[in-house]
Amino acid sequence: MKFGIIGLGKIGGNLSLQAIRKGHQVTGYSLSLEELNFFKSKGLESADSIHSLVEMLDPPRIIFLYIPHGEPIDDVCEKIIPYLKSGDVLIDGGNSHWQDSVSRYKKFKDQGIYFLDCGTSGGVEGAINGACFMVGGDIEAYEIAKPIFKDLSVPEGCMYVGPAGSGHFTKLIHNAIEFGMLQAIGEGVALLKASDYKLDLPEIMSNWSHGSVIRGWLIELMEKGLRENKFDELSDYVEDTREVRWAVEFGLKKEVWIPVIAQAELALYRSRDSENVSAKSVALMRNGFGGHPLHKKKT
């Protein structure tokens, strides 16, 4: 099949390479000329604008968007809508808020254009070798794009979830679960490092990857990271796109008890506070009421 991808970053770009490898024709557009030239050298048909990308595809057009949520995806949607025709299928494969996806669905629906919200999981490795897709929107639109979804996913890794917004909502909850798992593994590693035993942490991760109850890809990634990096040289700052806060907000609204997910989200905020103001405040108060010692920052 022939389809388009707007946004050739880690996920969109590698999905395009997987598609090309599997015999699909992919037309791509990126704001980065460097990205565009790289993927063009790999067989991508490059477009120099959103308009030209649409014109290079035959109707019904299938176009994936791998753009950051919020203003960037809104900007692309505003630019592309005048060029699409009734029956075209636009797919947001990023991590947009599910309610924003419902609003975009309605806007495109009014023009006779299909809009699918597609949660994409599996990371860079999944984009290269086979992803996991959770798709929301009109079933007839899903059926049009289904051959592409099926070909770019792992076996049983493609699912039509339900109406507009359900794909991105499902992916959000997936990410919330992921945060809890990451935090539990991180805390486990902290306990191992704090022990009096001289433990080979990468080997322990390898051991846990073979037959243990907690075996899985995240444990494998922990082993890989420990082998490739010196732990003590790493910063404790954790990069995050802050989407799981939407799950926490949803849980509060619906009064769903999610202590693990909420604590995992809050744990990330600690890495933003390089001065750890709250801990310093506690130390000051404990010094005031109990005479507990204050420790100065090491220089």
Q: At what angle do helices 166-194 and 201-208 cross, to 10 degrees?
A: 130
230 is catalytic: no
Q: What is the pLDDT of residue 298?
A: 65
The mean pLDDT of 22-37, rounded to a whole number, is 95
CA distance 185 to 173: 19
269 versus 66: the higher-pLDDT residue is 66
End-to-end CA distance of the chain: 61
Query: Does the pLDDT at position 216 exceed 90?
Result: yes
| 127 to 12, 19, 208: CA distances (angstroms) | 8, 10, 26
Residue 282: pLDDT band (50, 70, 90) is confident
Name the strand (E) or helix (H) holding 189.
helix 166-194
Q: Map residue 44 onto helix, strand or coil.
A: coil
Could you say which of 171, 223, 243, 265 is catalytic? 171
CATH 3.40.50.720 correct for 2-164 = yes
Q: What are phi and psi of 291, to 5 degrees?
A: 70, 20
The mean pLDDT of 93-104, rounded to a whole number, is 97
Residue 280: pLDDT band (50, 70, 90) is confident
Residue 292: pLDDT band (50, 70, 90) is confident
178 is catalytic: yes
What stretch(es) of the chain map to CATH 1.10.1040.10?
Answer: 171-280
| Top-tier CATH class for 171-280 | mainly alpha
Q: What is the pLDDT of residue 241?
A: 81
What rounded mean pLDDT belongs to the chain? 94
Could you say which of 109, 178, 220, 280 is catalytic? 178
What stretch(es) of the chain map to CATH 3.40.50.720?
Answer: 2-164
Q: What is the pLDDT of residue 213?
A: 98
Residue 299: pLDDT band (50, 70, 90) is low
Query: Does the pLDDT at position 274 exceed 80?
Result: no
| 262 to 119, 180, 250, 258: CA distances (angstroms) | 21, 8, 11, 6
